[in-house]
Structure 1
Amino acid sequence: MTRRHITTALAALTGATVLFFGLNFLLNPGGAAPGFGIDPWPQGNAGGYYVVKGFRDLALGGTVFLLLGLGQRRVLGWVILIDAIVPLGDALAVVTHGGSVATALGVHVSAALIVLLSAVLLLTETAAAPAAVTVAE
Structure 2
Amino acid sequence: MTVVAYALAVALNVFILYIGTRFLLHPFVAAAGYGIPATQDRAYLEIKGLRDATFGIVGLVLLAFAGAHAAAWFMLAVALAPLGDTVIVLRHGGRRSVAFGIHFATAVVVLFSAGLLFAV
When normalised by structure 1's length, the TM-score is 0.84
Which one has more relative contact order, counting CA pairs under 8 Å at least 6 apart? 2
1:42 shift after superposition = 4.9
The aligned amino acid for 1:17 is F
Moved more, 70-79 or 80-89: 70-79
Q: Which sections of structure 1, spanning at least 5 residues, go unmatched?
A: 126-137
Structure 1 runs, 4 residues or longer, greater than 6 Å off: none
The 5 Å alignment of 1:43-58 reads 43=40, 46-58=41-53
Residue correspondence of structure 1 range 25-64 to structure 2 within 5 A: 25-39=23-37, 41-43=38-40, 46-64=41-59
Q: Following TM superposition, by how much is the alpha carbon of 1:106 offset from its aligned partner in structure 2, in angstroms? A: 0.5
**CA–CA separation in structure 1 for the residues paired with 2:7 and 2:63:** 10
Q: Describe how 1:96-135 pairs up with structure 2 within 5 A.
A: 96-125=91-120
- The structure carrying a bigger helix percent of its residues is 2
Q: Which runs of 5+ in 2 are unaligned?
A: none
Q: Percent identity?
A: 37
Q: Which of these two proteins has the greater Rg computed from alpha carbons?
A: 1
RMSD between aligned residues: 1.0
1:92 alignment partner in structure 2? 87
Shift of 1:11: 0.5
Aligned residue pair count? 120
Per-residue deviation, 1:111: 0.5
**TM (normalized to structure 2)?**
0.95
